[in-house]
Amino acid sequence: MSSLSSSVMLLVLMFTTNLMAASAEHFNRDCQVSYGNENVAILDGGKLLTLSLDNTTGSGVQSNNNYLFGRFDMNIKLVPGNSAGTVTTYYLSSQGPTHDEIDFEFLGNVSGQPYIIHTNLYSQGQGNREQQFYPWFDPTTSFHKYTVVWNPQRIIWMVDETPIRVFNNNEAIGVPFPNSQAMTVYTSIWDAEDWATEGGRVKTNWMEAPFSASYTDFELNACVYSSGSSSCGSSTSTNSITGTEAWETQALDSEDEEKLLSVQEKYMVYNYCTDYERFPQGLPTECKQPRFLQ
């Protein structure tokens, strides 16, 4: 190969790597405070974020960029002790009445009782697709990784690389799927004592405030969307991504399916697809699909 060809290949490789490879985000460089500035602390050179809630305000941070598809990783350590009434979040959302949204929400509880990992999805403003899980670990004593994989075929929620939920693109049977609105990444902590813990029966104990959650290792492998164009180009070609876990086509293999089934059988505490009382006129269309096609 000529030196010119080698140089061209190197430039292409460098461009592709910069465009698509996972990047470690800095909270003070790549994010901005959404609200509650006095309760936001960015430490360790921008690598660690602490959000706090007191009886005056919660707090939140959002990404500077918007994204249309990608893999989004965040390590989170939740509020320890009595966290009843609090909600800590990590989610993606667009804006407006027909917004799209992909949620991780962590519903606090009284000391000694488990958190609830609350997942939800909005597409074209339609939500009501909640699934909830007990964690199989203590999420307050160390950091754990929470991942959203969002590609044109499906959305996968993962905890410490274990899939807990998948939502497939079923537009062919009339189910809306988020694939046209760019979304911002958000983190926050706020008071939801009217519903978060035992349906609002257990209130926030403000004598325990402030309540603080920590975030670190915020990594993105995603398509930045700006001014009507995507950093990934006009198509989502897998040729631009290397590795066996390329997010653009990531699906559940047989081992992942076994892990997901195990988590759902042991730790799922609510599934909208089995709530016949909530949907007396019939379950949502995707719930009638086989488990891994929902």
Q: Using CA atoms, how far apart are residues 156 and 148, in angstroms rounded to an integer?
A: 6
Q: Which residue among the candidates 25, 101, 193, 248 is catalytic per the annotation?
A: 101
Q: Which residue among the candidates 105, 193, 248, 286 is catalytic per the annotation?
A: 105
Residue 105 catalytic?
A: yes
Do the Cβ atoms of 182 and 225 come closer than 8 Å? yes
Cα 40 versus chain centre, distance: 20
Amino acid identity, position 182? A
Q: Using CA atoms, how far apart are residues 125 and 188, in angstroms rounded to an integer?
A: 21
3-state secondary structure of 289: coil
Residue 265 catalytic?
A: no
Determine the straight-line distance between the first and last CA of the chain, rounded to whole angstroms: 49
φ/ψ bin of 160: left (φ > 0), alpha (ψ from -120 to 50), beta (otherwise): left
By annotation, the residues acting in catalysis are 101, 105
